[in-house]
Amino acid sequence: MYQIIESNQDTKGKIKLIGIGAGNSPFEVNYFQETYQIPFPLFDDKNYDIHEMLGMVRTPYFFVVKINKDGTHKLTYTQLGGFKTAEDFLDLILKESGLR
């Protein structure tokens, strides 16, 4: 998905991905990022602090947040579990965020 976003001039710089390692230490997150060459930021959440703030949802869980020009933000979509293809999920994100 990251590669698709970054290779398209309509989405590059407009959509950002982050990952949160629920229950994972900094070592585990860094190891995962290096081993699988993850190009976007990953955050450790060893004590489940972020996970708890997000409602203790099961993983994987996806949140789509639109940041407006005035700095406000809006949660536009959430999904538990995976998705069929990165292209389908990106189309959904663009639609739900009003970018398409």
CA gap 20, 46 in Å, rounded: 10
Residue environment code for 15-35, b if the CB has 16+ CB neighbours within 10 A, otherwise e: beeeebbbebeeeebeeebee
Report pLDDT for 60. 93
Tokens of 53: 């703030």
pLDDT in tens, 54-100: 999 998 999 999 888 899 999 989 999 999 999 999 999 898 887 77
% of the chain beyond a pLDDT of 70: 100
Domain ranges of the chain: 2-96
Tell me the pTM.
0.83
